[in-house]
Amino acid sequence: MHSYMINPNSKINLSKFDPEDDQLFKGNKEEGEDKILKLNEKLEILQEKMFAEHKHKVLIILQAMDTGGKDGVIRRVFDGVNPQGVRVAAFKVPSQNELDHDYLWRVHQQVPAKGEMVIFNRSHYEDVLVVRVHNIVPEEIWQKRYEQINHFEKLIAEEGTMILKFYLHISKEEQRTRLLARLDEPDKNWKFNPGDLKERELWKDYLKAYEDAIERTSTAWAPWFVIPANKKWYRDLVISQILVDQLESLDMKYPEPFKDLEQYRKGLQSET
């Protein structure tokens, strides 16, 4: 499933990536959803093993255009995993206290501890995306941030964190369909924000900002994956498979049990 991984120093043009692509799975949607359930069972076991071993750390970064499906990935891909070892960190507009520190300060506080898997719903990449598109800080400042981000991610990778970054790639027409669904379906009305329409007008600017961010920060220690995301089931299938493959590569093991467990079994069985 690594066909979607962006190699370091690659030049990319997101308009050349088909958001409808489903080439890595030959079955239909129903078969794909069945496979997601099987992968989810594997993910549950791997995450439990990681929590028990208390050695590895995993950081998953989700970025996308508005309506790109970050929440959907969190709900579906991680359905059933033990919440004791999985945490979601959502990065909203910075507070005054956060603005009083460097832009990575609030991010560093949320990175995973040993045995923990943390999912970033948006991330430090907003500081080379929104900040750039809306001219919140001068170009001379945000241009420096690509290298700073690479150094930050290398630091936590060298401290034992596996970093996987997913850009959920949807088409502008698919975004239109999803925005209309938020207006047409009463149970989705709460999701609609008129501000999303203003952001939609900046589609090309965001696309260019994403291209530069992915090109300049896809590294050996923190690779980007551009995931076709128009088909939600396929998006979830690809991400699930990548996660399972990467976690299996850690060759994790449960801790050794206490010695002479049989004596404890006999003691419990002899209770009256």
Residue 36 CA to residue 57 CA, distance in Å, equals 23
Q: How many CB atoms lie within 10 A of CB 206?
A: 18
**Token pair recorded at residue 148:** 């700073």
In order, the DSSP letters of the chain are -GGGEEPTT----GGGS-TT--TT--S-HHHHHHHHHHHHHHHHHHHHHHHHHT--EEEEEEEESTTSSHHHHHHHHTTT--TTSEEEEE--SPPHHHHTS-TTHHHHTTS--TT-EEEEES-GGGGGTHHHHTTSS-HHHHHHHHHHHHHHHHHHHHTTEEEEEEEEE--HHHHHHHHHHHHHSGGGGGG--THHHHHHTTHHHHHHHHHHHHHHH--SSS-EEEEE-SSHHHHHHHHHHHHHHHHHTT---PPPPPS-HHHHHHHHHT--
Residue 172 CA to residue 175 CA, distance in Å, equals 5
Model's pTM, two decimal places? 0.93
**pLDDT tens over the chain, length 272 residues:** 478 999 999 999 999 999 999 999 988 999 999 999 999 999 999 999 999 999 999 999 999 999 999 999 999 999 988 888 999 999 999 999 999 999 999 999 999 999 999 999 999 999 999 999 999 999 999 999 999 999 999 999 999 999 999 999 999 999 999 999 999 999 989 989 898 899 999 999 999 999 999 999 999 999 999 999 999 999 999 999 999 999 999 999 998 877 777 776 777 788 86
User: Can you name the residues that pair with 5 across neighbouring β-strands?
Assistant: 225
**Token pair recorded at residue 233:** 């089931």
pLDDT of residue 113: 97
pLDDT of residue 67: 95
Which residues contact residue 247 at a Cβ distance below 8 angstroms, ignoring those fewer than 6 apart? 43, 46, 47, 50, 58
pLDDT of residue 271: 80
Residue spans of the domains in the chain: they are 2-252
Residue 158 CA to residue 58 CA, distance in Å, equals 12
- CATH number assigned to the domain covering 2-252: 3.40.50.300
